[in-house]
Amino acid sequence: MKRILSGIALTALLLGCGEKKESKKDGFEMNRNKKEEAKSATASQGVPVDLNNKGVGPITSVSFEEAIDTELAKAGETQYQMICTACHMIGQRMIGPDLTGVYERRSPEWVMNMILNPDGMLKEDPIAKALLEEYNGAIMLNQNLSEEDARALAEYLRTL
């Protein structure tokens, strides 16, 4: 009798250990084998790409030399490490957007105006408003940088 019970228990154990792919509980579906597709860091859901928008602020024109000014970019990197990394991470979304390839989505003027005048941009610029909504109302704080500091940051962002 013990052997029969042991055999039944072993059979039940083996049948119960099969991989469970999906289960439903209160209308919630889980799939343990399905991996979530990562969203592209550069593709924002409701934020348009607009290279013509210069934003709202003191910067009306920025021209980049073809070659990156490494000294200026180094100064910008120092600023970025001190100020920006609290909200922006290179290569992934954080509190704020990933700034890798930002000039493929925004004009240099827009970027510098966002650095220098985030309050005005968030009030008046449609792209800044869309980003504010996409990032759950996380505002970019005004760091009170000079135009020279903002230009150094802009040069560093070219290297990302």
The domains located in the chain, with CATH, are: 70-158 (1.10.760.10)
The H-or-E segment that residue 4 falls in is: helix 2-16
Please tell me the predicted confidence (pLDDT) of residue 4. Answer: 56
For residues 152 and 79, is the Cβ–Cβ distance under 8 A? yes
Q: Is the pLDDT of residue 6 over 80?
A: no
Q: What are phi and psi of 25, to 5 degrees?
A: -145, 115
| Residues 57-115: tens digit of each pLDDT | 999 999 999 999 999 999 999 999 999 999 999 999 889 999 999 999 999 999 999 99
Nearest-angstrom CA–CA distance, 150 and 108: 11
| Residues 13-70: tens digit of each pLDDT | 444 554 444 444 455 454 445 443 333 333 445 788 889 899 999 999 999 999 999 9
How many C-alpha atoms does 81 have within 13 Å on its Cβ side? Answer: 6
Nearest-angstrom CA–CA distance, 130 and 119: 14
Quick one: CA dihedral 150, 151, 157, 159, positive or negative?
negative
